[in-house]
């Protein structure tokens, strides 16, 4: 079976990494999968023309109901859609986008979710599958690493002011924000704020291998997003043996169990409090690292993910 696979392929982002991994799962099952950037297409008609002019395409997949899924509305072959995070948490709040997403759901043969806390109607078309990470264990440093693309939904400035104040009290603790510049206007704002903030640094995006190396050297991985589907960075940090400090939002709380697989915080001040605990309570740190690693091994295994995507594609036949 030959599939057209649409996803947002901004370089060095979680979406790009996830799409490449899913493509490899599909091809390992003996199918052909042509991965294309959704940004290449302006309308559903363009994708429909591509598929009609190349009859070897027997089906299609898309990650993200609005950004990519809407482009499949006019095709005449069966397709499946994989929820992202922004579509569930943010786009659904916009009436125009929600209408389009509902149309995609109605037409899709398979609806696939990488999201634990979403409540769904019972449907034979819906599958729930965790993302996978497979990495090694690490050392510790006193660098707090915030991994995110520079866009507002990731809220990278949420902790900057309070962390800067904390840095004045203890200069050994620093915050490094690392990720691609996705929103150019917002990036200018972030750069200006960080430039004035003591103890806070902005780093350019790295390859996945380089990013994992940076995680291995950090003291803790930080998430400050307004909303998440299921953060690949959090799962990667857990698998690397790095403690996670995550903002207490539904997507994060579905993965991070407070004081068991990581620490949750609901305000910048609480972030500092939980960080103090992580610094002073070695048993707490050892517990969340150990349990985080076990959680990933039990629920986000590569073989489990590969088999699930194989079954998804078979369902399209």
Please give the chain's pLDDT, 317 residues, in tens: 889 999 988 876 777 888 888 888 888 888 999 999 999 999 999 999 999 888 789 999 999 888 999 999 999 999 988 877 666 667 777 888 888 888 888 888 877 765 433 333 333 343 434 444 332 332 334 899 999 999 999 999 999 999 999 988 888 888 999 999 999 999 999 999 998 998 899 988 888 888 888 898 899 999 999 998 888 899 999 999 999 999 999 999 999 999 999 999 999 999 999 999 999 999 999 999 999 999 998 887 777 778 877 777 787 76
Sheet holding 200-203, edge to edge: 200-203, 174-178, 143-147, 220-223, 244-247, 263-265
Question: In Å, what is the CA distance from 123 to each residue of 10, 120, 283?
Answer: 32, 8, 43
Which residue reads 């363009």 in tokens?
A: 46
Angstrom distance (rounded) from CA 270 to CA 257: 16
Check if CATH label 3.10.105.10 holds for domain 143-299.
no
pLDDT at 243: 97
Angstrom distance (rounded) from CA 109 to CA 187: 38
For domain 2-131+301-316, which CATH number applies: 3.30.980.20, 3.40.1170.20, 3.10.290.10, 3.40.50.2000? 3.40.50.2000
In the chain, what are the domain boundaries?
Answer: 2-131+301-316, 143-299
pLDDT at 153: 93
pLDDT at 114: 52
Pick left, alpha or beta for residue 64 (phi over 0 → left; psi -120 to 50 → alpha; otherwise beta): left
Angstrom distance (rounded) from CA 230 to CA 163: 25
Burial class (CB in 10 A: 0-12, 13-18, 19+), 183: middle
pLDDT at 113: 62
SS3 assignment, position 192: helix
- Evaluate whether 2-131+301-316 and 143-299 have a shared fold: yes
């Amino acid at each position: 079976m030959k599939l057209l696979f649409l996803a947002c392929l901004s370089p060095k982002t979680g979406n790009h990494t996830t799409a490449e991994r899913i493509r490899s799962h599909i091809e390992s099952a003996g199918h052909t999968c042509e991965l294309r950037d959704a940004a290449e297409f302006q309308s559903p008609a363009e994708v429909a023309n591509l598929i009609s002019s190349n009859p070897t395409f027997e089906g299609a997949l898309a990650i993200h109901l609005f950004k990519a899924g809407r482009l499949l509305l006019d095709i005449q072959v069966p397709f499946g859609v994989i929820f992202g995070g922004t579509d569930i948490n943010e786009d659904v709040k916009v009436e125009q986008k929600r209408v389009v997403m509902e149309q995609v759901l109605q037409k899709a043969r398979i609806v696939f979710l990488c999201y634990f806390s979403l409540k769904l109607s019972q449907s034979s078309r819906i599958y729930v599958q965790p993302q996978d990470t497979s990495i090694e264990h690490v050392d510790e440093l006193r660098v707090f690493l915030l991994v995110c693309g520079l866009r507002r939904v990731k809220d990278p400035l949420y902790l900057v002011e309070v962390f800067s104040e904390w840095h004045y009290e203890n200069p050994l603790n620093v915050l490094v924000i690392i990720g691609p510049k996705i929103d150019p206007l917002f990036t200018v704002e972030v750069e200006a704020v960080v430039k004035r903030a003591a103890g806070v640094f902005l780093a350019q995006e790295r390859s996945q291998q380089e990013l994992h190396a940076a995680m291995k050297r950090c003291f803790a991985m930080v998430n400050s997003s307004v909303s998440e589907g299921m953060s690949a960075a959090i799962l990667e940090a857990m698998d690397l043996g790095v403690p996670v400090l995550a903002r207490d939002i539904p997507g994060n709380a579905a993965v991070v169990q407070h004081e068991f697989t990581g620490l949750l915080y609901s305000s910048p001040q609480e972030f500092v409090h939980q960080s103090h605990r992580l610094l002073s309570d070695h048993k707490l740190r050892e517990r969340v690292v150990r349990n985080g690693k076990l959680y990933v091994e039990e629920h986000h295994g590569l073989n489990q993910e590969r088999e699930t995507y194989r079954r998804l594609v078979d369902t399209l036949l």
